[in-house]
């Protein structure tokens, strides 16, 4: 049965569909020895040899791993970087699996990110319809007003689209900076920085402290732990 190439790669647990499509466009995928750069290319995986970065797709019985990682500042959320910067996957050299981050955190953002070779779980959590809750600890410049907080919580417009409402708690605020926790169910690029920038506040520090009900616990920056079967089951049932 023929399927889209990026779907086959994702379902094999290699990476998310979005990243698979990007890898196809970059010429990192071959079908029967020929480079395929067409995202919508359809193929029967049972009849063809598909290689991603020169490696065959994992067999169906490959052990699935999902880790909770405390991303340090300056590390990028990708499994491949042509500029050879420090990546989240560089911290998992001892794991014999092709791991990929689920979603992204900006280079300067710290905190929780999941890393996995479970393509089905990756696709589920990364899909906008999943509306996974994310909680961020945010430090912004200057003292934020109650009026600004109310407008942000109600959902402002970015790029001509209204954002979903969010929840904000004030940890502390003063004339030099304010510290807040922000609960989101969306994941638009640089969303928090752009939201507060709209109201004249520069984000000084940003840390994701909760993802889909999972917290960092005692993990220090650069450390990780494998999720339990119970935690994975909860993620699958979100």
Q: Same CATH fold, 133-211 and 66-129+217-236?
A: yes
According to CATH, the superfamily of the domain at 133-211 is Alpha-L RNA-binding motif (3.30.70.1560)
Q: Report the share of the chain in percent with pLDDT over 70.
A: 98
Q: Is 103 left (phi over 0), alpha (psi -120 to 50) or beta?
A: left
Q: How far apart are CA 126 and CA 93, in angstroms?
A: 24
| Cα separation values, 225 from 46, 76, 97, 161, 221, Å | 35, 19, 15, 37, 12
CB 128 within 8 Å of CB 185? no
Catalytic residue (one of 61, 90, 106, 146): 106
Q: How far apart are CA 197 and CA 194, in angstroms?
A: 5
Tracing tokens 């050299």 back to the chain, one arrives at 93
Q: Is pLDDT above 80 for 200?
A: yes
Provide φ and ψ at 197, rounded to 5°.
Answer: -60, -30
Per residue in 114-141, pLDDT (tens digit) is 999 887 888 788 777 778 999 999 999 9
pTM (2 decimals)?
0.77
Is residue 106 annotated as part of the catalytic site, yes or no? yes
| Sequence spans of domains, the chain | 2-56, 66-129+217-236, 133-211
CATH number at 66-129+217-236: 3.30.70.580
- Which residues fall within 8 angstroms of residue 31, CB to CB, at 6 or more apart? 5, 41, 43, 48, 49, 50
Q: Is pLDDT above 80 for 174?
A: yes
- Provide the b/e sequence for 6-36 (b: ≥16 CB within 10 Å): bbbbbbbbbbbbebbbbbbeeebbbbeeeeb
Architecture of domain 2-56: Roll (3.10)
Q: How far apart are CA 235 and CA 133, in angstroms?
A: 11
Distance of CA 78 to the CA centre of its chain: 9
pLDDT value, residue 100: 85
């Amino acid at each position: 049965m023929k399927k889209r190439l990026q779907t086959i790669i994702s379902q094999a647990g290699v990476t998310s569909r979005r990243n698979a499509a990007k890898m196809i466009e970059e010429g990192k995928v071959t079908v029967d020895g020929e480079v395929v750069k067409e995202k919508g290319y359809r193929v029967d995986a049972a009849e063809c040899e598909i290689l991603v970065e020169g490696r065959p797709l994992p067999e169906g019985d490959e052990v699935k791993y999902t880790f909770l990682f405390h991303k340090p500042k300056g590390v990028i959320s990708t499994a491949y970087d042509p500029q050879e910067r420090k990546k989240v996957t560089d911290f998992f050299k001892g794991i014999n699996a092709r791991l990929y981050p689920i979603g992204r955190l900006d280079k300067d953002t710290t905190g929780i990110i999941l890393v996995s070779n479970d393509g089905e779980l990756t696709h589920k959590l990364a899909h906008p319809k999943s509306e996974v809750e994310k909680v961020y600890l945010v430090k912004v410049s200057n003292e934020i007003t109650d009026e600004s907080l109310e407008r942000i919580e109600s959902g402002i417009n970015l790029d001509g689209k209204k954002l979903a409402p969010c929840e904000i708690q004030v940890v502390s605020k003063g004339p030099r900076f304010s510290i807040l926790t922000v609960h989101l169910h969306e994941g638009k690029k640089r969303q928090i920085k752009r939201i507060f920038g709209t109201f004249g506040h520069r984000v000084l520090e940003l840390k994701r402290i909760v993802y889909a009900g999972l917290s960092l616990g005692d993990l220090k920056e650069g450390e990780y732990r494998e999720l339990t079967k119970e935690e994975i089951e909860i993620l699958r049932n979100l």
